[in-house]
Amino acid sequence: MILLSALMFIGGFVLAGLDFRFKWLVLPKGVVFVATAVFLFAYLLYAEVLRENVYLSRTIEVHENQKVVDTGLYGVVRHPMYASTILLFLSMPLVLGSLYSFIVFLIYPAIAVKRIKNEEKILEKDLEGYSEYKNRVKYRLIPFVW
């Protein structure tokens, strides 16, 4: 997964640069402005997630004395960090004006879903109260969907 993520980022940004340089497909300014608004909103969501959850980590692990965070955005969906990063990563190529790069970045939601499934197995096994939290907060990523 890490290698696939790295290839996605490198490929997506190189493709965005080439798309800009050679003007393969120029997106309307309105699309770029909307994507910029989505990007800024997602960035604010991400900052809020960082503020709410001091246990966030790049690796999936449970810290000593870790508690389930179930307030704020975590009261709406169980994985608001992934929700915000999906918005960030899907809006970035459109902010850069590249539909081709956007297509490459469509890989990221699949990567996030796989990681969420792995993370939930570990949290349910190792984090006290996580099973009850799953029963209270039904949705993993998108309210009323999944």
pLDDT at 42 over 90: yes
Q: What single-letter amino acid sits at 90? A: L
Q: What single-letter amino acid sits at 65? A: N
pLDDT digits (tens, 9 = 90+) for 73-103: 999 999 999 999 999 999 999 999 999 999 9
* 124 within 8 A of 117, measured Cβ to Cβ: no
pLDDT at 53 over 80: yes
Does a structural domain hold residue 74? Answer: yes
Interior angle at CA 78, CA 75 and CA 145, nearest 5: 95
> What's the total number of domains in the chain?
1
Domain that holds residue 18: 2-136
Does a structural domain hold residue 100? Answer: yes
Does a structural domain hold residue 101? Answer: yes
pTM, rounded to two decimals: 0.91
C-alpha torsion 73→76→78→80, nearest 10: -40
State which H helix or E strand residue 65 sits in: none
Please give the Cα distance from 9 to 12 (Å, whole number).
5
Does a structural domain hold residue 80? Answer: yes
